[in-house]
Amino acid sequence: MSVALRALLIMMSVGSLVYIVRKIRYSRMQIEYALFWIVLAIIFIVMAVFPQVVYFVCNLMKVMSPVNLVYLFIIAILLLKVFMMTIELSALESKVRELVQQIGINEKEQRDEKGEDNNITGGYKG
């Protein structure tokens, strides 16, 4: 792994850690979501500081270049994150649909109650 790639990994990881911590600090990001990005940044720092780990895994997986392994790792992790976010988005859409239906039912019941009250009191001319 080249020195330039290692330096870039360290700079980007430290920069993203600082950014994430600032977002958590100002309550713009929940800790449970930030945890993924923090762990990923730490993994990148470890990969950059200890390239022997990357070389070892590269030899295990029979990958030609350590840089290719790093890129493969990044792509795989981001695809996994997108998949997990898709699952979460589907669950949230289901909850929103249920809430909208419940609100519609409640509003209908309120209109029906008001309509029945008007018919009972206003409908009798005795």
The answer to whether 47 touches 12, Cβ cutoff 8 Å, is no
Q: Is the pLDDT higher at 115 or at 21?
A: 21
The answer to whether 53 touches 66, Cβ cutoff 8 Å, is no
pLDDT of res. 116: 65
Q: Residue 12, class by beta-carbon neighbours within 10 Å (0-12 exposed, 13-18 middle, 19+ buried)?
A: middle
pLDDT of res. 126: 47
pLDDT tens across 23-51, in order?
888 888 888 888 898 998 899 889 888 98
Average pLDDT, the chain: 87
The answer to whether 41 touches 20, Cβ cutoff 8 Å, is yes
pLDDT of res. 34: 87
The answer to whether 74 touches 16, Cβ cutoff 8 Å, is no
For residue 120, the 8-state DSSP code is: H
DSSP of 10-69 = HHHHHHHHHHHHHHHHTTSS-HHHHHHHHHHHHHHHHHHH-HHHHHHHHHHHT-S-HHHH
- Report the Cα–Cα distance between both ends of the chain, in Å, rounded: 95
pLDDT of res. 121: 52
pLDDT of res. 93: 97
pLDDT tens across 62-86, in order?
988 888 888 899 999 999 999 999 9
Among candidates 43, 44, 40, 27, which has minimal Cα distance to 84? 40
Q: Is the pLDDT of residue 108 over 50?
A: yes
